[in-house]
Structure 1
Amino acid sequence: MAEFSGHNTGCVEFLGLKMAPLNIPIQRRLQTASVFAWVATILFAGWAFLLLLIYLGFFTNYWWLSLAYLTWYYGDRAAPHKGGGRRRRWLGALSVWRHFANYFPMEVIKTAELPPDKNYILAYHPHGVMALGTTAIITEGAGFSQIIKTSKLYPAQNNIVIYYPHGFLGLLSMEGAEEVLRIHPDSGKAIVVVPGGSQETLESRPGKASLVLKNKAGFIKMALKHGASLVPVYGFGETDVYDQNVYPDTSLVRKFQRLLNRFLGFSPVIIKGRGIFQYSWGVLPRRKPINIVVMAILDVNI
């Protein structure tokens, strides 16, 4: 599968792999590094941090660092359920996010005005493998806040990820999202949700977008309860950046994936993307455009 932006120029074959050329501009190198850092965070940061805590606590003289962190974590454990963790606007404005968005590239397209004095629930589809398009919404990589004028964006999830160190600091649970809407009924807050979740992940493949809507009405009920307006957001190209092995519903692998999804809120998939120095395989997404279309408001009546 070809990469976007003419990656084949100057690439060579080595041991069956399409290797990246050596004369790639520094901007593209920075884009790849930014995407690698974010994908590594999603895939490995939670488990790596847990192993680090165990190592420091039981095998070094720095056990007190693990104890201090766990003490703080326990004392602040309710943060995702009571309005969120420790988000900082300057973090979302770092240049790393601009490099991230330009890698694909990502573009935010607005089809209607969103008054800044209302609350919104932005429902993003499709999930794809990692819902990468939401990164352009919750950061300034694609200039989202200059296009959509809201005072604050809150990414919300309903699975184990909110308890990871990086998730704990920046994500809301669905309970916490309701708390934000309850406390700030008319202040331009926007909750970002991906209703299809890991069930859409299991069906994600290039050229196809399977939307899972059955039994996914929780965000609609939240909007009705708190008077927030619904805003459909669609990421065209989200499912094109990764390929994966899709297993039949009756297979043991699919049953195992669904079992993990039931207990953990996410399902492991075997993905095929590209690598840092070659284009044939790896965990990095392919360079394919993701156009994030923010559609017209759907007002709801309480």
Structure 2
Amino acid sequence: MGTKKVTKKDIMSATEKEHREYLANESIFKKAFMYISMAVLFPLLEMIYFTLFFIYLLYTYPLLRPFLLLYLTNMYLILDGAPSWSGSNPLSRFYRNPSVHDFFRSLPFWKWSRLYFNASLIKTSPLNPSANHLLCYHPHGIISMGLQTSLGMDACNFKSNFPGINRHVATLVASFKIPLFREWILLHGFVSCGSETMRKILTTPNASLVLVPGGANEALYSHPGTFKAHIMRRRGFCRIALQTGCAIVPVLGFGENELYYTIDNEGDGVGGWIYRWQVWGMKKLSFSFPIMTHVLPRREKIVVVVGGPMGGPYDESGMIMEGEVKRIEEPTTEEIDELHGRYVKGLEELWNKHKDEYGKGIKFECA
């Protein structure tokens, strides 16, 4: 008897099969609306929209030019300190206001992003609202759509799942050099990813931070069917966690790497040559240039799993207790390595626990 050929459908998880049915049952009008909404909300396109609108105002309304030029001067030369969580002027304090962040994160149109990906947020452990947390998201993907939908915005009900957690999202400093887009992300609680900014936030009572430790390098390994966490050489976040006494929370974005087809950067062929060029550009500019085959992300299922806090000890409910995380002003290499090793182990355990349900057929690797 011949061996039955294994198809993609045979290795689909129950979650993926449910997602295929979800897409198949959509009307043509809903499909069209989903793509139009993503074209409006997609971060890379938002940068272009805001820049074009600023140029339009600059060249169309002469009376506004002095104010727009003053705005550019403030953004590039003076700076109000808002992205780095510094500055005592009213505008900087306004951008740091958690109530402002909650309002913009809860705007109704962010739910469209959840519907586009049929995204969901999985809570595995409660988080103590009185403690500081460093939520580390993997993988980066092309543009971290899972992070934006579930952690950056409230589209997947983060606020109700983790009440009292006042979170901020760390992103590239370059994002705050784009006119008007800068204000848009500040209103949603985004901050620069500088180490000093991270320390300020993680030593502020009732403040937590969302970070993508793999960064730009991890984005270059965003290929469907793979989940490569570029973490083995990244220890800076562990140093900051020890210096601030915060708890590290591993977060996995299942489906993040499925959103784009990208050029294979393995080997010595064209892909390998392009990868070397990308690495060179990343070192010069601090951000990478992944090459994908389309602009809008594919409508693949995204499931973001938030793990338990690492740092202990914990109370009976599994919540890390306030003030119980050991804070070390100048951690040694051994202490950093020990925490890093525990984090990698915790990340792998979180993957193994949920891979059959959300990541079936995906190759996981800590690189």
TM-score (norm: length of structure 2): 0.67
CA contact (8 A) 2:201 2:208 kept: no
CA contact (8 A) 1:132 1:238 kept: yes
The answer for the alignment partner of 2:84 in structure 1 is: 81
Matched AA of 1:290: I
Matched AA of 1:261: M
Deviation at 1:121, TM superposition (A): 0.4
Which among 307, 319, 323 is matched to residue 295 of structure 1? 307
CA distance in 2, matches of 1:142, 1:207: 24
SS in 2 for 1:244: coil
After superposition, the CA RMSD in angstroms is 2.9
How has the CA–CA distance of structure 1 residues 45 and 36 changed in structure 2, closer, same or farther, with 3 Å as cutoff? closer
Deviation at 1:176, TM superposition (A): 1.7
CA distance in 2, matches of 1:216, 1:283: 29
The answer for the alignment partner of 1:96 in structure 2 is: 109
CA distance in 1, matches of 2:56, 2:259: 36
The answer for the alignment partner of 1:229 in structure 2 is: 247
CA distance in 1, matches of 2:34, 2:55: 33
CA contact (8 A) 2:40 2:46 kept: no
CA distance in 1, matches of 2:121, 2:154: 11
Looking at secondary structure, tell me which structure has more helix per residue: 2
Spell out the pairing of 1:173-188 with structure 2 (5 A cutoff): 173=192, 174=194, 175-182=196-203, 184=204, 186-187=205-206
Q: Deviations over 1:147-168 (max 9, x none)?
A: 1223411001244223334246
Deviation at 1:181, TM superposition (A): 2.0
CA contact (8 A) 2:123 2:161 kept: yes
The answer for the alignment partner of 2:191 in structure 1 is: 172
CA contact (8 A) 2:47 2:178 kept: yes
The answer for the alignment partner of 1:18 in structure 2 is: none
Deviation at 1:270, TM superposition (A): 1.9
CA distance in 1, matches of 2:84, 2:131: 22
Looking at secondary structure, tell me which structure has more strand per residue: 1
Which among 172, 175, 178 is matched to residue 161 of structure 1? 175
Which among 73, 81, 106 is matched to residue 119 of structure 2? 106
Q: Deviations over 1:35-89 (max 9, x none)?
A: 22222xx324445655665676578735324313224434434221125962532
How has the CA–CA distance of structure 1 residues 59 and 38 changed in structure 2, closer, same or farther, with 3 Å as cutoff? closer
CA distance in 2, matches of 1:31, 1:83: 38
- Stretches of structure 1 that go unaligned for 5 or more consecutive residues are 11-20, 273-281
The answer for the alignment partner of 2:72 in structure 1 is: 70
CA distance in 2, matches of 1:181, 1:83: 14
CA contact (8 A) 2:139 2:227 kept: yes
- Stretches of structure 2 that go unaligned for 5 or more consecutive residues are 1-7, 10-15, 312-324, 328-367
How has the CA–CA distance of structure 1 residues 286 and 79 changed in structure 2, closer, same or farther, with 3 Å as cutoff? same
2:151 corresponds to 1:137: yes
CA contact (8 A) 1:154 1:190 kept: yes
Matched AA of 1:43: L
2:164 corresponds to 1:150: yes
Deviation at 1:117, TM superposition (A): 0.9
Which among 37, 43, 46 is matched to residue 34 of structure 1? 37
Deviation at 1:298, TM superposition (A): 0.0
Deviation at 1:216, TM superposition (A): 1.7
Q: Deviations over 1:233-276 (max 9, x none)?
A: 0011111111111234653321221111112222112213xxxx
Identity of aligned residues (%): 28
Deviation at 1:286, TM superposition (A): 1.3
CA distance in 2, matches of 1:88, 1:76: 20
TM-score (norm: length of structure 1): 0.80
CA distance in 1, matches of 2:50, 2:29: 33
Matched AA of 1:34: S
When Rg is computed on C-alpha atoms for both structures, the one with the higher figure is 2
CA distance in 2, matches of 1:93, 1:213: 32
SS in 1 for 2:127: coil
How has the CA–CA distance of structure 1 residues 55 and 38 changed in structure 2, closer, same or farther, with 3 Å as cutoff? closer
Matched AA of 1:252: W
SS in 1 for 2:228: coil
Matched AA of 2:289: P
